[in-house]
Each structure stands twice: as C-alpha cells, then as structure tokens.
Amino acid sequence: MGLTSDTLLACVVLATLLLGAVTVWQWPRLGGRGPGRVIGRIGILLLAQVCVLASVGLVSNRTFLFYDSWSDLVGAKQQVAASPGGAAVQVLGRKAPAVPGGADPRVGGVIEKVVVHGELSRTAAPAYVYLPPEYFAKGAEQRRFPAAVVLTGFPGMAENLMKKLEYPQTAWKLAKQKKAQPMVLVMMRPTIAAANTQCVDVPGGPQSETFYGTDLVKAVAATYRVGTSARNWGVIGNSTGGYCALKMAVQHPESFSVGVGLSAEYRPEIDRESGDLFQGNKDEEKRSDLLWHLDNRPQGASSFLVTSSLTGEPNHKETTEFVAKVKAPDRVSSIILDSGGHNFKTWRREVPPALAWMSGRLTAD
C-alpha cells in the first residue's frame, strides 16, 4: 500500500479505533500489580500511542503532501528507469486539469506525468507538465509557448503545486481573463535526490544545479513546443523552491530570464536533510549565498520578484537586502504583505499576481 493511499489510511484508522475498544474492554483484566499485568498495560498503551501517531502522521502527510512514497520517507535513493529510445522526456501518463470543461484538451489543456532525463547531470527526475488549451488549438500546431519551471518546497511533493497552490488552474484562469499569456508549466520538487540538494552540484554526488540550470530547459525544449532562449523561460518556487528559483535566475541567466521566490531562502540550509553539500569547498559555499553573489559576481539582465510579509515571515530582512543588492541591468520587484506566514495560505495569495508578473516578462518566440 502506498504512503498516500486511501487503503493505508483506512486500515491504520480502523486499527486505532479497534485497539481503543480493546483497551477499554480488557483494561479491568489487566488491573493489579503482577509483572505480566504491568507489562500488558504498558504494551497496550504503547500500541495505542503508535496507532494514534501513525494516523495523525498519515493525515498530515495527505494534507500537506510532504512525502509521496515509503522510499521518499526513509530517504532512500531515487531509482528512475532509463528512458526508452533515449528520449529526453519520458511521458508516463496524462490527466485533465481541474478546470471547467477540462476533459477536452482544447478547453482545459493537459497535465502530463513525466520523467525528465538530464544529459550533463546524468540523472533523471519526475515532473508534471501542464500544457495549456491553446497548445491544442486548431491551427496552432507550429505555435511556440513561453515556459516556467515551478518548484515546491522541501520536503514536499510536486502534487502540492496542483492540489494546494493550483498552478495549472491559476494559469488557465489568468489566460482566460487576458491577464497572462498561455504558458507551459514544468512542476517539480527542488531536488533530484532523496536529500535536500537545494539546486547545488554536490561534489561526488547529485548534480542538481546542472540539472535545473542546463539539462531541464534543454530536455523540455526538445520535447514540447517551447522557446529555447532565456527570454522564453522563467522559474518560480516557494521556500526552498524559491531559493532554487532565484539561484537559477541569478546564476544561470543563459537559461532563465525571470526568477520568482515566494518566501524564499537566500542561502542553502545545511542540516541532516541536506547533508554536507559543499564537501569543504568554501568558494562554492559562498557562491551559493545569493546575497554574497550579488555583491561579488557580475549581474546579468534577469528580472526578479521576491515576496515576504512584514509580520509572520522569517525572511523579511533578507528579502529587503536582496532587493537593495540587485543592480542594473538586473531588475527586481517585490510583494510585501502586511501579514502572512510560511504556508500555503500565504502562497495562494501570491501565486496569481506572480504568474501574471512573470508572463509579462517572457516571450513566446
């Protein structure tokens, strides 16, 4: 049974309820001071606690979509099958977006579940690709579209971007309202490994920066009708995904001309989830600090949008510093809410204006 399956949740909740009933029923028989009865009481209480915690954990995971599999939960190395025929993007399935009339691709577009294979990074990662309805319009067979990489936080699943933040639905609605041009969205996690690689090329390990900064654009452009130059590509993300989005636009202006960080971090967080990302390479560690990079390395011609809140958001001070450090020809805008937090509720408020802002700075040729 999968970690997010209804069957697993139902079984664990049922076991919790049954164990509670058994505890009440058998408690009088476990009374007394004998060693066996004491051990019995301890055992049944521990089992009840385990079942309750498991139920709460499964419900929380289904609500916030932190982990999508058992291997992801325990941090096992991701195994991705080789692409048949050497295809850059391997399509695993298709589904309709959750929009009115979405069953018809010419009305709602299509979401494809894919695996993207990186040539230089020699790795692969799962993703979801949203193709807008205009992609399937009659007479548009040669039309090209701007594209945006959309990154969730860590831990987190790409499904968050569809279920919690509703990126395809928002892009569809903005295009219908003429507030944004139709865009192809590539929705992913901000890591190509079980560890939180944070878009860093780990010495002797996952080459995440190479994958997101070079391989991803090349693979998607070879598969779908999207542009191949930086002016055709943007990247947006929240939290850790926001750091990766800004990092790609700051350090890979040859691939991305627009970067949006929602509640972004501005340097990698080194903890047990990441491991040692730099292996003692202090130069690379400094380079991965975006505030240091803006001060000490040449700036390109990218456009940035960063968001924070005056209260409730821990990144407000660094967001202000980032804005102050961006110099021409780079450009920067910001959304600063009066109050908010590091959560989906805040990001749902920011996604529509952020997508519209990004759309206005990308071209389709």
Q: What is the DSSP string of 248-294?
A: HHHH-TTT-SEEEEET--SS---STTT--SSTT-HHHHHHT-HHHHH
pLDDT recorded at residue 69: 53
* Residue 217 clears pLDDT 80, i.e. is over it: yes
Strand order in the sheet with 89-95: 89-95, 110-118, 123-131, 184-188, 147-151, 233-238, 258-262, 303-311, 331-339
Beta strands in the chain (DSSP E): 89-95, 110-118, 123-131, 147-151, 184-188, 233-238, 258-262, 303-311, 331-339
Nearest to 237 by CA among 350, 333, 151: 151
In this predicted structure, what is the pLDDT of residue 271?
A: 81
pLDDT interval class at 70 (50, 70, 90): low
Least confident of 45-59, 199-213, 236-250, 307-321: 45-59
User: What is the three-class DSSP state of 40?
Assistant: helix
Tokens of 154: 């860590």
- Tell me what the mean pLDDT of segment 62-87 comes to: 53
pLDDT, residue 76, reads 45
Q: What is the pTM for the complete model shown? A: 0.80
- pLDDT band per the 50, 70, 90 thresholds, residue 5: low
Is pLDDT above 90 for 62? no
pLDDT band of 79, cuts 50, 70, 90: very low
Instruction: Work out the angle at residue 196's Cα, subtended by the Cα atoms of residues 195 and 197, and round it to the nearest 5 degrees.
Output: 95
Average pLDDT in the chain: 88
Higher pLDDT, 230 or 6: 230
- Please list the residues that pair with 89 across neighbouring strands: 116
**Residue 287's pLDDT is what?**
94
Residues whose CB is less than 8 angstroms from the CB of residue 32 and which lie 6 or more positions away in sequence, other chains included? none
pLDDT band at 127 (very low <50, low <70, confident <90, very high): very high
